[in-house]
Chain A
């Protein structure tokens, strides 16, 4: 019989509808502007909750609720204004040990949360926050590694009693000059076996060697550098206490960091972009640093650095321990003097080296060298380009008074310096310097405004479409409207299911699919009208209308999907969000227009004896 659907198809349509409504439902509840409090390395207790509540009461700031879960304290507010003021109040009340951040807390009821139903995540343009794109200087990462290898080779050759004249860096190569052919052969064999990433060849002069990375190793070093930078950034972001941060690689050499709710972008930038690290080195106390600076005659094994006051200090070239050998760093106060300090714990390799050096160099001075990579713009060939500059400062010179290895203190810092240094050391150092090449900060009130505009646009667009289609196609129009509505529900449900991030262009994508989703229904209804006009019976017209529209609908959807796919593959940020909603909207439109409306039409008209078709 014409126009009857088998039970399984009807059940599928009903099931998809019910599931769609269920998954889309959490989005109806909206969000509360909230302040989220967490503590680094410690558990929050009810005492903190009481403390926060008291602070808010004292400031006469009304809040909806304050709840502790997953070691996060979430305080909800009625509006963004109180939320913003509360941020300051809470920060002041709790002090520096707590991370206090803005957040949007969904208002979904408990039972929905229990079964894992969540609304779509809101993009930064809708909830406020900051987006960074950082470009990694991968050549610098390779160069750093080469430098470390050069330092290492110097030490190893000395240990192995292979006599060398000099080990220097030039470009992408380490040049090693040795005393005798015998030493040269030994050094070549040793380096080749110990430093597998280096390819050692004979240099142009006798008794010289040239060591380089192979292209494959360079590639690997680069990838490792990217990964290490991502790990380090994640650690740093966690230290900042952001609600739901995103840190991910984008393309070959950049990283995207998104920090929803963060308003203090200056501090975020300072922490994310900082490349500060430490090196512990021995001071060459036998040489005259001031004289070396004047004459430019620096002893071969030494390097000249300024201290905080700008006075020159001569340090040994060899690094005893560097920042990446630290396992923990906590800022505090020196018990004797009361000045700020950083308590450092080394890993086992670092501890062993430190123990040995302090034992053999008792009562000699050791220095802490603070290294920071700064970025400055300069003009090269008329173009403004960023250049990395390493800034070295000797922050502290102290006499080694005893043998120490695993734990010790660094002094000679201001309080804020000590706090930031501890944070950075804890989070690990960056394998390569990075530049912020893109920053997008959206204030929380603008986010609210964007949501409102997107919402109103969607409602108006939907209303216009629904009214027009119902007028134009009557009953079939109402059925098409139901399909368009279901299309909206299913798109939202899918977006919530995959936990896609909703952005303003994403909302535009949804609104646009409403318009385009109508197309399939228009095609079907136009075909049915045509069949009726040709004098066919109502049932045959419905049947033929759907049949003829089918191929066209598929063709039209597939071609649009092609364009949406390209948008997804090549788009960045907001364009990607647009592409995702557009693609999902096209897919759900296929389902609702072809199967959804058909089951309604069949249920309504199927098998009935119709004289006229109201289309």
Chain B
């Protein structure tokens, strides 16, 4: 596969150089290569103020999605209905919705897709009477998979919103 397109320019440059002088003389200094390593200190995971009873309702609540989609399935809505009830019963609970994507596609697009999925879940909560102030929405895109295979089963497990 040869797709080199600048052949014409290339010849002009050579002709120009050779017509000016028979030899190029140059002198240069190398640049400094200073580099400093930084260590990022990760903030400790904020522990949510959740009572033991409601933890049981929310632990491992995960909503799954189709490829490149952020729409809720009827199965997801069943899961979300019980979550809405638990949130209504426990007004002190705040939740974090973390959206995720499978590894196919670009990282930034997947970050945005994960956000859309988390927002879709958030919208459902708000539509069903949950105050938006109780919800934090974020995305990890494809950065935190739960399944590592390169098959549809793994991909399906990774296209998710985790409710915590």
The yes or no verdict on A and B being binding partners is no
Question: B interface vs A, CB < 8 Å?
Answer: none
Question: A interface vs B, CB < 8 Å?
Answer: none
